[in-house]
Amino acid sequence: MASHHHAGGQIDQVTDRRRGTGLVALDRARSFGGYTLVAPQTGGGRVYLVDIDGTVAHEWALPVRPGRHAVLLPNGNLGYNGSHPDSPEIYPAWPLWHGGLFLEVTPKGEVVWQHEDLGHHHDAQWLDDGSLLYTVAEPMPAEAARRVAGGSSRNDLPDGTVYGDVVKQVDRAGRTIWEWRSWEHLDPADYPIHPIFDRYHWPLINGVGTTRGGLVLMSLRTTSGVLGVERATGAVAWAIRHDTVAQQHTPVELPSGAILVFDNGNLRPGVTSPHSRVIEVEPGTGEVVWQYVDPMRPAFFAPYMGSAQRLPNGNTLVCESPFGRLFEVTPGGDTVWDYVMPWFAEYPEGGARRYAGGLQNSTFRAYRYAKEQIPWL
């Protein structure tokens, strides 16, 4: 780990970097091991596989910066959720979280497939059948837009437009094979925006997924909640509400049927000290059956982004996105690996930098892979 003692010299003014980067801690016997994949938000398109000792084992240089994140596909290629350079700035924060240029890339960096959708933002799931599941923002019909409840009107768009979320699935030919419009299935009165969030995008779906039973998972950021939606009817089969989750991300179904959630906690009801937690929730009852919090709770707090992944040995990989901190905890809550990403840069000029200033080492998500999953490495 780099030393930051400068006798009479310049002190690094980047607080996160001054605290130290790289491998912070490792309990080799209890860690799952393997390789962690990260796509730094301000890395200009560089994607890294980092081994358990904090060493870069492989890197890609992609033609665009990440819209959000990257995954390794079963065939060994990289699935990359890139930021489309032509995506229109439909509202001020849009450049920060839109994607829209999906690339499948070989380990050597050759693009073998791509799909473009300028309306895409936040998550995209590369499904096993080769299709993509993701969210786009579309202007809501005026009548539906008028029913959006809550939120702050200070940044309302001048023409009154409200963007609503549409969840889409497209096949390898780019054809839409499933589509779900939020305002056709959710009553805005039941999903009010929290008072501090802007009203021009509802309900801001920041994470999608699928269950073995055929439901589509959706994480609603500005209204707080995770939904399980039936494909055939578009109806909500179950909902985890704001009394359980707060501004959460990354819903994933576990083998038990419970839903793993990165619960950010900006506005947790009845809590004065914001902190994040990773929770496992029974979707039928809403009961939290497992959680990880830092023993000193505010020491782990990601106000935006974030992910959690349950590993085959029962440990959980946690991505504390804003601070580039990736760590692995046991079922009992012990930290057995802790790593801070060393790549710092500013967002490009414009909306992204206005909303997220300063030097950043963030990544939307991180994923851990066993050596056997990367035969080419």
Q: What is the DSSP string of 210-262?
A: E-TTSEEEEEETTTTEEEEEETTT--EEEEE-TTT-SS-EEEEE-TTS-EEEE
Q: Span 303-331, mean pLDDT?
A: 98
Closest CA to 243 of 209, 267, 222, 207: 267
CA distance 87 to 141: 21
CA distance 102 to 112: 11
User: pLDDT grade, residue 7 (50/70/90)?
Assistant: low
Rounded to whole angstroms, the Cα distance separating 96 from 352 reads: 4
Residue 302: pLDDT band by 50, 70, 90 thresholds?
very high
Peptide bond into 203 cis (omega under 30): yes
Decide if pLDDT at 62 tops 80.
yes
6, pLDDT greater than 60: no
Q: Examine the pLDDT at 2 and tell me if it is beyond 80.
A: no
pLDDT (mean) for 35-44: 97
According to the model, what pLDDT value does residue 354 have? Answer: 87
pLDDT (0 to 100) of residue 1: 58
Confidence of residue 349 (pLDDT cuts 50, 70, 90): confident
Residue 322 DSSP code: G
**What is the reported pLDDT for 352?**
87
Q: Indicate if the pLDDT at residue 151 is higher than 90.
A: yes
Mean pLDDT, residues 274-295: 97
Determine the residue type at 207.
Answer: G
* Distance, CA of 196 to CA of 193 (rounded, Å): 8
Query: How would you classify the pairing of strands 193-198 and 150-152?
Result: parallel
Helix, coil or strand: residue 299: helix
For the chain, how many residues are written?
A: 377
Supply the DSSP string of 142-160, one letter for each residue: HHHHTT--EEE-TT--TT-
Mean pLDDT, to the nearest integer, of 280-293?
A: 96
pLDDT of residue 114: 97
Q: What is the pLDDT of residue 70?
A: 98
pLDDT digits (tens, 9 = 90+) for 237-266: 999 999 999 999 999 999 999 999 999 999
> What is the C-alpha separation between 319 and 249, in angstroms, rounded?
11
CA gap 56, 58 in Å, rounded: 6
| Closest listed residue to residue 194, CA positions, set 280, 286, 268, 89 | 268
Q: What average pLDDT does this structure show over 222-241? A: 98
Summarize the confidence of residues 312-341 as an average pLDDT: 98
Pairing of strands 78-83, 66-72: antiparallel
Which of 292, 213, 287, 207 lies closest to 248, judged by CA?
207
Residues 6+ apart with CB under 8 A from 180: 166, 167, 168, 216, 229, 234
What is the mean pLDDT of the segment spanning 64-78? 97
| 89 has pLDDT over 70 | yes
Q: Looking at residue 351, what is its pLDDT?
A: 80
- Percent of the chain past pLDDT 70, that is, above it, reads 98
Task: Read off the pTM.
Answer: 0.96
Strand partners of residue 207: 219
The whole-angstrom separation of Cα 220 and Cα 274 is: 19
Q: What is the pLDDT of residue 18?
A: 96
Residues 325-342, mean pLDDT to the nearest whole number = 98
Give me the chain's average pLDDT, please.
96
